[in-house]
Structure 1
């Protein structure tokens, strides 16, 4: 059968060039232009197809030769393009770099490999932000590396200006490959990410709005008519569309008169499964019904099979743990022998716990997050007859997670993965055959219809009754804690604020410290040893030259534009003494030391209070024109808001000094929006090393910026104010290896913060804005005296009423390891359920909180 299907593949030289942004935006733009679009993804990824589905209005689908075989790629493409109605064009998003595929297999499963099988033209998306003419060399190399690969055009992404993109376009003329569009730098159209890539579209309330904006920008910047022309130039395809009923024909057998219900996990916590899985279940005579393990009280009525796919149980652990009725319902079903398949997140959910948060407990194992990412294609063998496959059956799959399960199997493994036993194949009801199949392995059932057939046979044969557990049922969908969104209540601010109050004043013996923002309880071993080695040199006066040089190299500045300081506190004091502002402005809510330093130096200070209703966003037009000194944090303490660098730059003008406190910028991945390397007259940036490296007691920081301001600060600085150990720490922490280690720590912070943010959301306590810091700001106005209640339960948090612009209903919570966060979330749930004054006795709560666990580990504890 010959089929005409216009199609195009979106590829890139490497990950990070904008494939997902452009492919998804292109799908949305074509759909808005009146075309029916089918979205596809090369590789095993689940998240990108979720965005494709949002853009196209039809299921996003995967094309992966490792998972389904090369011979199924064209049939699956044709099936996706025909279901639920014929598409006008298929857009296929590639994976990684154009020629990157399975390791050691010469590009097998790469974008180029799949494009060749599909006979589809390729459009390259190239990030040109750091090059110009060199881009032409890169494109030329990609086009000639494998001569049979057809690159039909290039979309230039992240152009700095028309002149910049013009230079690239001119250089590309020699390659004969046309430029199809230019997209400018725009952080506003990128999707947020976390430890396993993008945040799924199902978890983002703003996904639709962002996609509409992206579609408009693609339509404006890319020649859609030329894209369509290239797609229509693809040759006809030979073969039949994939058909789930035809795939199952060889496994057919008499089925039930009614369609048994298969409960399929969904919602925000379980977003990973292939669209063809549901289609195979329906073709096998089953009725897949999606349920939400976070918000639903029990499995769907009539459940006789369970499918728990992938997702993020570690992010939604608080909600999963709090839903006791669902956990009991699922445990009862599994124990009764209901056929159950669990992949990755499903495996974790069935364990006893995930990092201390109670889960279903159907599997006698516990899960814990680790620093290691497991990302790999796998070859699997069934070690014995299981729910899915007979003994010796060979298949393929992939793993993508950051957890481990202990034990990894209990003597009845689900698979031999590359020869190693893994997973669980269990007969909990004593039926004589396994009814539970759980492992980390993700399988694409379109490649192995036998799995669907065997699972369906077991579901049809199940004759037991699923017991109803005797667990109190809460109203469907009601949050654990009824709290209004942050910012909806009035700001109750005292007329005066204790500008000298710090988080360490909120802690006490026996309390878990969630008030202080220092990331680790002690500096890393290598840094501690280096600091200790300076003791032998303490007889000499401190020599700052090496530290100044390290700062200059780190931020690409001349030595005259840098100044080591005894932490940020000294820098504020130096500025207050060095400058003579007539109209000083401090933007609040913000760290209180800048204002305290200005007042101590005898200056008058005006406050510009940002509005919680819009997430404490900076509006530059609210800064008085006459202000000749402006101080602002980025990201700010305590709000966690990361202001755009462009907005901060706009504050600079002749006769004004703008001071940006970047004390927490080293907690932001990539230090995006930093101005520490911006050579702008009148701009000064302060940095601190104490939070990330656990050296708050040592005091180490620096200032960079306008040479005249730095010189004035240096003139006010007492001789030898920065100690020898602090200077050594500055040098050490700015070396490339340490910078790389710090960058890794930002990913830990981001992942741990996501656990806290999403856990609070599951409890109905939204966090203010989108924090970029190792702490979050929460409005507790609807809960009551939660800070005092938390102290009574063994937790210290930072009080908000010491920050101008905030009142007593605000608290700042430091990001800690997930195990500590889980206990905090459980405590908040208890407080909300019993009233702020209720709950466990303070002494008992303090003992259970175990303050010795409050520190951050030196590992990345997140899961996939």
Structure 2
């Protein structure tokens, strides 16, 4: 008999807040000093990732169908006692309380697991669309099955205190205590993807978000009462599960991890270790080779389709995996692992082990499966049976002339290959996820195959894993001779040849590159914004009316609507300014975004340029601006330097009678607190001033083109007269309205803080390499790296913004978009190779450098 405080968090249906409450409780209990053992009902992999972060220990999946009803309590106790005893356990449910395997009367449901572990249930109820009816709902759920004991209720998404009080009375009148009420939008939720939540390991802000969630949970839920309920759980009559131990020398098994391979059951590694294997995690995104001495390969599940750029361009590892697996390396690949071994995924090259190609599909494949091995393989003899589940939105082409990995009642599935002609399949690749604790013979067979195999290095030489052969790279000469820096003494019409160049040009011809050239924060708009855009589709037959968007922007910045003009992005804003604002002597403070110069040239106008210098930190001295300049363009923060000019001492000092000051604040919303912005509710502060804003970068809507200008009402009127009718589309207006909401502003502010942290990570890493990135605050970093580095990075699969198209810079400089720390670290490894390569080439004699 084992004493273990515990509870199950359940709900009436999916989407009611189980994960938010479960993870919040785990974090809050841990913050009180408790050791918390997490668990998850069913075969879910993503929620346990958040459990791991919240508790600091691995979460256990409890699934009576994948393992057996008899194993649920032992597996649960394993998690409670390993690696150290836990004070309390929190089990997150799945779907609705009584929803289990279809056609099996609730088998493997949350209620089933609660009964098997004899755990009290904390019921989470979404009350956003009901009031007193919630009392009847709770009573029905609590009395439906005598084996389930509902011990408390948490109300989620309350609309107001009055609403919450009404529901609380209704529930407590039924005899069930309400332990907390979460207001609508109080929870911090993880972003969604096509298969559910985005894994915690892919979110660089995950730990900070979970800390905030724990604090918020403690504010709204009685954590002490929750712990008291957990302590009412009776003793469990079960023994903790332990994997069978085989005493033999350890052999190394490479286990795929990182952002693309996040789906693992905790017991898999434990069973391998007990069977005489040494599981070693490697990251196919970033690691150039398998762990040394690898004698087995386990490729679990995950989201390779979300990280195709990094996976497809890591050719040294893809090549080594292909060679190693072809030599007979025992290899198990489940779902994501199957995709990694394909010839291609969505047209991008993968390892090429399997004679098939994979692609995303609109239809989700989901469900439990009974499976039988079709041939003798590293997992056992033909006829071996197992249970598993599928969960994917990709499909593979049929393999020609290859055996299937499994046979389902519906037909064959997967691939079983014997590339080294050993007499049995050494590659088992399938969409099926199996829980080896439920089928230990699979783990034992795989471990035996690993011990029978010679190490990779002994079996077959691995190809050279150098990313770029220094003798074969055509290093371009310095571009300093081709690009003529322009300074304040240059002829007014002189301009670098690259005014029309954009960061998108750096990746347009190579979609396989990891894109660090374009400064758009998100690859697509967030789900809530995408829904707003989709909801607007039925209204596209009407001509757009910008009035509501203009007024919303005015409220957001606390200015009069007459000071606002919605535009089709910053590009239209600069075009309107070039056409509408007359001036004898336009001047652009450089280096700067190329659009102002391009817009002026298209309007038949020329501009002087004041080029700020690297030796001065690209800092602007207002006294250096020609007093005769009557239309001055300056970025803040400036693209590409990232320098943020002080509002009062620099920008306001540029204002003078007869001059229009245009400030490009395209990246101002990426600066925490939007400090130094020149937008002000005081009209005097914007007299003869125009501030250009873009929504493209923060919200991932480059294809919509949404922005606006705020400034002097008389100047705004001049721009409005130049603007064609309906130039701003209805989707762009939808973006403007949606992104002025309180929710959007909170999300934007948090994104700015996260970005600042990631930028600090990148800058620090560059400085440790002896480089001197320009001090700034923008979502990109400008740094001088030397001749040929950009080209070498391109060979390595990374696109960075070329800088010889900016006045005063050369191709010795690169601008790097700030991404999450994982992507940054991947880039830094490629940068190390590029720096070493170019320095080696520079040190070679002329005869040694290829022509």
Question: TM-score, structure 2 length as denominator?
Answer: 0.65
Q: Give the C-alpha shift of residue 413 in structure 1.
A: 0.3
Matches within 5 A, 1:368-517: 368-408=359-399, 410-462=401-453, 466-472=458-464, 501-503=499-501
Corresponding position of 1:50: 49
- Structure 1, residues 313-333: CA drift from partner, whole Å, max 9, x if none? 445555555666654554444
Corresponding position of 2:3: 4
Q: How far apart in 1 are the matches of 2:649 and 2:90?
A: 45
Q: Which of 781, 785, 802 pairs up with 1:782?
A: 785
Instruction: Give yes or no for contact 1:8–1:230 (8 Å, CA) kept in 2.
Output: yes
Instruction: Give yes or no for contact 2:710–2:716 (8 Å, CA) kept in 1.
Output: no
Tell me, what secondary structure is at the counterpart of 2:94? coil
Are the structure 2 counterparts of residues 786 and 51 from structure 1 closer, same or farther at C-alpha, using a change threshold of 3 Å?
Answer: same
Q: Give the C-alpha shift of residue 225 in structure 1.
A: 0.8
Q: Give the C-alpha shift of residue 62 in structure 1.
A: 0.8
Q: How far apart in 2 are the matches of 1:196 and 1:618?
A: 44
Q: Which of 159, 164, 170 pairs up with 1:168?
A: 164
Q: How far apart in 1 are the matches of 2:829 and 2:347?
A: 11
Q: Which of 544, 548, 552 pairs up with 1:547?
A: 544
Corresponding position of 2:237: 238
Are the structure 2 counterparts of residues 425 and 780 from structure 1 closer, same or farther at C-alpha, using a change threshold of 3 Å?
Answer: farther
Q: How far apart in 2 are the matches of 1:667 and 1:804?
A: 29
Q: Which of 245, 258, 263 pairs up with 2:254?
A: 263
Q: Which of 137, 144, 151 pairs up with 1:141?
A: 137
Q: How far apart in 1 are the matches of 2:234 and 2:316?
A: 55
Instruction: Give yes or no for contact 2:98–2:110 (8 Å, CA) kept in 1.
Output: yes
Instruction: Give yes or no for contact 1:780–1:786 (8 Å, CA) kept in 2.
Output: no
Corresponding position of 1:335: 326
Corresponding position of 1:664: 696
**Count of residues paired in the alignment:** 711
Corresponding position of 1:692: 703
What are structure 2's unaligned runs of at least 5 residues? 468-472, 474-484, 489-493, 525-532, 556-560, 582-588, 608-628, 740-750, 768-777, 820-826, 843-851
Matches within 5 A, 1:105-124: 108-124=107-123
Matches within 5 A, 1:809-848: 809-811=813-815, 834-835=837-838
Q: How far apart in 2 are the matches of 1:422 and 1:554?
A: 57
Q: How far apart in 1 are the matches of 2:270 and 2:294?
A: 18
More RCO (CA 8 Å, sep 6+)? 1
Instruction: Give yes or no for contact 1:503–1:516 (8 Å, CA) kept in 2.
Output: no
Instruction: Give yes or no for contact 1:800–1:807 (8 Å, CA) kept in 2.
Output: yes
Q: How far apart in 2 are the matches of 1:318 and 1:53?
A: 27
Q: How far apart in 1 are the matches of 2:650 and 2:234?
A: 60
Tell me, what secondary structure is at the counterpart of 1:68? coil
- Of residues 349-358 and 652-661 in structure 1, the stretch that sits farther from structure 2 once superposed is 652-661
Tell me, what secondary structure is at the counterpart of 1:27? helix
Q: Give the C-alpha shift of residue 414 in structure 1.
A: 0.3
Q: Give the C-alpha shift of residue 22 in structure 1.
A: 3.6
Corresponding position of 2:270: 279
- Of residues 175-184 and 785-794 in structure 1, the stretch that sits farther from structure 2 once superposed is 785-794
Q: Give the C-alpha shift of residue 230 in structure 1.
A: 1.3
Q: How far apart in 1 are the matches of 2:662 and 2:281?
A: 51
- Structure 1, residues 705-739: CA drift from partner, whole Å, max 9, x if none? 99x97x9967974499326xx69x6499979xxx9
Question: TM-score, structure 1 length as denominator?
Answer: 0.64
Matches within 5 A, 1:168-207: 168-176=164-172, 177-182=176-181, 190-191=189-190, 196-203=195-202, 207=206
Q: Give the C-alpha shift of residue 90 in structure 1.
A: 0.7
Tell me, what secondary structure is at the counterpart of 2:423? coil
Instruction: Give yes or no for contact 1:551–1:734 (8 Å, CA) kept in 2.
Output: no
Q: How far apart in 2 are the matches of 1:411 and 1:403?
A: 20
Are the structure 2 counterparts of residues 143 and 194 from structure 1 closer, same or farther at C-alpha, using a change threshold of 3 Å?
Answer: same
What are structure 1's unaligned runs of at least 5 residues? 249-254, 476-480, 482-492, 521-526, 535-543, 580-585, 669-688, 740-749, 767-774, 816-823, 840-864
Q: How far apart in 2 are the matches of 1:301 and 1:836?
A: 28
Q: Give the C-alpha shift of residue 801 in structure 1.
A: 8.3
- Whether 1:72 aligns to 2:71 is yes
Corresponding position of 1:89: 88
- Of residues 462-471 and 347-356 in structure 1, the stretch that sits farther from structure 2 once superposed is 462-471
Tell me, what secondary structure is at the counterpart of 1:348? helix
Instruction: Give yes or no for contact 1:67–1:397 (8 Å, CA) kept in 2.
Output: yes
- Structure 1, residues 15-47: CA drift from partner, whole Å, max 9, x if none? 555543442332233223232211111222223
Q: What RMSD in Å do the two structures reach over aligned CA positions?
A: 6.2
